[in-house]
Amino acid sequence: MGKTVTEKLIATHLIEGEMIQGREIGIRIDQTLTQDATGTMAYLEFEAIGIPRVQTELSVCYVDHNLIQSDFKNADDHRFLQSVARKFGLYFSPPGNGISHQIHLERFGLPGKTLLGSDSHTPTGGGLGMLAIGAGGLDVAMAMAGRPFYLVMPKIYGVKLTGKLSPWVSARDVLLELLRQLSVKGGVGYIMEYFGPGVAELTVTDRASITNFGAELGATTSVFPSDENTRIFLESQDRAEMWKELTADEDAQYDEIIEIDMSTLEPLIACPSSPDNVVPVREVAGKPVSQVLVGSCSNSSLRDLMVASRTLSDKEVHYDVSFEINPGSRQVLENLIDQGEMMSLVRAGARIHQPGCLGCIGMGQAPSTGTISLRTFPRNFPGRSGTKDDQVYLCSPEVAVATAITGKITDPRDLGEYPSISLPRKYLPGDHRIEPPRPEEEKTEIIRGPNIAPFPAFEAIPESWKGTVLLKVGDNITTDHIMPAGAHILPLRSNIPAISEFVFNSVDENFTNRVKEADSAMIVGGENYGQGSSREHAALAPRYLGVRVKLVKSFARIHKANLINFGILPLTFVDPADYDLIEEAARAEIPDLRKIIAEGGETLSVIINGKSMQARLEVSARHREILLAGSLLNWAQGN
């Protein structure tokens, strides 16, 4: 039987295990990336491992999240990251240089390689034919130390693309349609692989927009083949010699198949407050808007900004709208200027910001109270924008610029003829500010500001566990609910004691005080618990406070891995109906816990207020060792 692109990528990197669905495998990681919001902790963890230099083919340290330097914290972390990169042999991309995923696609991504990133949108690299996976910072630190990355061998969801996108419809609408059909849980346990005649109609920029946004399906990652369009893209980046063909065999088999005829798609939009709350734009057209943002790792390429520029060439932004542009990289910004497209944006009234994530993670650009904000971003979770009770819609650059012109949600087809867009055959590289690795013999001192706290030590799991059900939450709890983002909290990422004060702050403002008073805590949740960002702080900070058990209906992949990495027991209900029987403040107990884990028990009894219910522990043998040790770091130091 023929192989899919995914199977070929895994087979060439397999180190441990067998490619049997549901079994844990270990794969070799060729490249890693970190960004500053997760990277500071990842490098503290790498230091703790004790390896003198990164062991990957290539690792890059990006600064793209915490760009607002309202006090010393972010600036100090940036110097720390630069000094770490110099000491351990990484490339360093400084603040203002751009978003990690956009730059990595332009300057470092290679077909046929594996990439592990401490950011959930790392699958962007799948647009180049990479196996690019988001993970927690500690997993990335282990990969930089030369350790395998472990994951459960996923199923492969084939997305057959046919037809061709119509004018004013973009690649983003492909993924919005998938979210409409499959939901934010539809990709859990799968790698999404794109195939079919429609693939040839999509540029690498289009594909990267799809694989990036595909993270919102809950998928492990998304993959496109490497074909002639991939070669054209690498040639435009003056990297043609790095191209290799990588396609699925004709008789390749997929576990599931969904077909999207791109010629039938129309402009779509995700309504508040979930990426899968998708409807045609025409159904919500006419709603007044106060803010429109084009940018983020999903849609900040030169192509996306040229759509805005060309559309605005003879028009201007509505006076009621703040239209803001976040370029994806210095390369995008340089080529936008070189192509003569910047003047259209400036004259039309756009606000041009530095290349970076910015409003996507609440680092500025918060919308005004009670108004609608349209964004080309990948997420619109409640309050993520920085404004309480926000109304954030997710859309394509085409919908965004049409709305900026009219001041109300607008189907861009109403504007008439689609603008002609021609991308350069050769891009200005825009990479002159990326600092290459320093020689190993060069001695570098790591610079630590006062906000950088030592990595906390964690004790092993107890023989039996007793504690309190401190919080009960519902379905689709995101890592933003658990560990909020935003300009006030993000600068504390390198200081676990400080950032722990904000755990579950948007759900229960008194949570931190209550957990400090408890002996040990359990969190109870519903379906898809921990969806969204890869931020390991959503596991690390609760563990620091004393959370040792999470009992839910189902977990999102990255968050479950992060819980295990920090010694929090990830349990699921055998009978989901038991969820309804649990109340906050109940006393809970798990007898003989350590023995059950050590002996490979897959079900165990959780006693809550004297009533016993069954829970499932679905982990690998390696995971059991990590849980017994109390954390992945404890386990690694003993192995």
Active site residues: 64-65, 119, 379, 533, 535
Number of CB atoms found within 10 A of residue 437's CB: 18
Q: Peptide bond before 273: cis, by omega within 30 degrees of 0? A: yes
Q: Give the whole-angstrom CA distance, residue 580 versus residue 277.
A: 26
Dihedral-angle region of residue 59 (phi above 0 means left; psi in -120 to 50 means alpha; beta otherwise): beta
Distance of CA 143 to the CA centre of its chain: 18
Retrieve residue 545's tokens.
């406070």
Q: How far apart are CA 459 and CA 244, in angstroms?
A: 47
Q: How many CB atoms lie within 10 A of CB 539?
A: 29
C-alpha pair distances (Å), 27 with each of 150, 366, 464: 7, 40, 34
How far, in Å, are 162, 207, 320, 377, 470 from residue 262 at the CA level? 6, 13, 34, 21, 47
- For 164, the 3-state DSSP assignment is coil
* Strand order across the 14-16 sheet: 14-16, 24-27, 149-152
**Measured between alpha carbons, how far is 17 from 236 in angstroms, rounded to an integer?**
39
d(CA 567, CA 308): 47
Q: Residue for token digits 């009533």?
A: 611
Q: Distance between CA atoms of 176 and 164, rounded to whole angstroms?
A: 16
3-state secondary structure string across 439-498: CCCCCCCCCCCCCCCCCCCCCCCCCCEEEEEEEECCCCCEHHHHCCCCCCCHHHCCCHHH
Strands (E), 327-387: 351-352, 372-375
